[in-house]
Amino acid sequence: MSVLNLIILIPIIAAAAVLLGAPARRTALGAAAVNLILTLAAIFQFDPSSTERFQFISSFTVLDGWDMKYFVGADGLSLLMLLLTAIVTLAAIWVTPAVSKFEKQFYACLLFISAGAAGAFASLDLFFFYAFHELALIPTFLLIGIWGSGDRQAAAWKITIYLSVGSFVLLVGLIGLYQILPETLRTFDIPKLQQLAAAGKLASPDANSIYLLLLIGFGILISLFPFHTWAPQAYASAPAPATMLHSGVLKKFGLYGLLRVALPLLPGAGNQAFHLHLCCFGFTFTANNLLLVLLVGNILYVGLVTIAQKQLDLMLGYSSVMHMGYIFLGIAAFNPLGLTGAALLMFSHGLSIAALFAIAGHLRKRTDTLAFANLGGLAKPMPVLGFLFGLAAFASIGLPGFGNFAAEIMVFFGAFGNAGDGLHFSNLQITTMLALWGVVISAVYMLRAYRAVFMGPINKRWAQLPDIGSSLRAPLILLIAALLFAGFCPRVFTRIIQPAIQALIASR
């Protein structure tokens, strides 16, 4: 049996065991630890120099007439996402506090999210690629609506409506992708689709519209501006483990989908012009130029909104949305350096935002508030928590030594390296110069939050708060250690994803 089958099945089996009466926390934690070990073993066994692009392949036919099959395999890019899933899952289950109601269902939901994310990242069939992601969304809605805080019902409905619309648009795009093939060549097999795209079989007058549908569908799932407003409220209301898994892992599905499906299967479609007529006005634009405009909205507009927040949870929610703009910038660059940086930033951002939301969840539990005005001086009674929050905050800002810094440097250099005509800056270079201001903005809001929560005079109500114990300290150290390893040894990661990036570029 392929190791990928085990990585997908273990959380599902563990969830079923929990629902049938097995010890919830112990079973979930054991399954997450085993999955991390299996993922690390797969990475060590992966051979980047192999002529086989996808390794650990397993396949069986589901519908022969449609060429639909359960088909999993991994290249360096999907292994990196599987490693992110395994680390954040273990950390999220580890930090889970005592659950007062429906404990078994709570842990089962976390395990189903992990299984869905792993299945989506490992799938090489379009149907299962989509279906596994939908499997992960259902428990996300339940976790917010049942175990969330604040106005959790409104947050659950809002994220349900937004992500359902995004999933529907994405589904229409995927169906369109299937339909533009000649009937005798139609398939859900992603590697086979890539071969057909390279042979020009996906060239169609409708390819440009399908690419735009995929961009919008994936974009809504990623919280691309202006489809971003669901994320901060949902993350503020969700229990910390659910927020860690969604913001750290599941949101990367849309970015991964752009790299795995939209860009290689529809080469060149993003540069084809759209003509839009509204009343007496006509507009001409390309999907790629539209993406540049929207990612600037993610970085600058959402960044300024983040500065204005007065609660830690909402600030972190908007921060997560803002940083998606940097990853879009690396994808828009579409060169080895930019794409490698985007992939590494997907991994590093997932770790850093998971650590920050874990700390926010602990503070909410201890103080019953995350308003900056009600906190302050917590570094005195909780020095270890203050130190770990500082490390996670510095990673999010992009301080040298963390994976975020190495990734953002590659994104910026990759994007700016796409030269203009020698006399003028290209659109991508102008976008990069605007995006650089995001580094300043993120430093402002993150350092402001650190000062408001941990520095200054202490509120007397919090003077006797105990510092964190091992149940939070260990998973935070795991997340931050992974960030430091990615920052000091990025070559370990870039070496395994390089063949996938080269194949992606060759498809264009």
In the prediction, which pLDDT does 369 show?
A: 85
* Res 283: pLDDT: 54
Domain count for the chain: 1
In Å, what is the CA distance from 285 to each residue of 293, 334, 501? 11, 19, 27
Q: pLDDT tens, 268-319?
A: 766 665 555 545 554 556 777 888 888 999 999 999 999 999 999 899 999 9
Tokens representing residue 141 in the block? 């809605």
What pLDDT is attached to residue 270? 61
Q: What's the whole-number mean pLDDT along residues 487-497?
A: 91
Residues 168-193 have a mean pLDDT of 86
List pLDDT tens digits, range 358-400.
999 888 888 888 888 888 888 888 899 999 999 999 999 988 9
What local confidence, expressed as pLDDT, does residue 49 receive? 82
The closest of 322, 175, 317, 346 to 256, measured between CA atoms, is: 346
Higher local confidence (pLDDT), 198 or 276: 198
Mean pLDDT of 407-434: 80
For tokens 């007058």, the residue is 205
State the residue range of the domain holding 417.
Answer: 3-506
Tally helices (H) and strands (E) across the chain: 21, 4
Neighbours of 439 (CB within 10 A): 16
Residue 137 to residue 135: CA distance in whole angstroms: 6
- When mean pLDDT is compared over 146-155, 283-292, 374-383, 416-425, the highest value belongs to 374-383
Say how far apart CA 269 and CA 205 lie, in whole Å: 10
If you ran DSSP here, which 8-state letter would residue 378 be given?
T
pLDDT of 422 > 60? The answer is: no
pLDDT tens across 39-48, in order? 999 999 988 8
Query: For all residues of the chain together, what is the average pLDDT?
Result: 87
Global pTM?
0.91
- List, as one string, the DSSP characters of 381-426: T-HHHHHHHHHHHHHHHT-TTSHHHHHHHHHHHHHHTS--SSSS--
Least confident piece of the model among 148-152, 326-330, 341-345, 499-503: 148-152
420 or 127, which is more confident: 127
Cβ-contact 231, 162 below 8 angstroms: no
Cβ burial, residue 506 (10 Å; 0-12/13-18/19+): exposed
pLDDT higher than 70, residue 121: yes
Rounded distance between C-alpha atoms, residue 204 and residue 508, angstroms: 16
Residue 233 has pLDDT above 80, yes or no: yes
d(CA 330, CA 407): 9
Using the 8-state DSSP alphabet, how is residue 460 labeled?
A: G
For every residue of 243-293, DSSP letters joined together read HHHIIIIITHHHHHHIIIIIHHHSTTGGGSEEEEEETTEEEEEEHHHHHHH
Average pLDDT over every residue of 60-74? 84
As a whole-number percent, the residues of the chain with pLDDT over 70 amount to 94
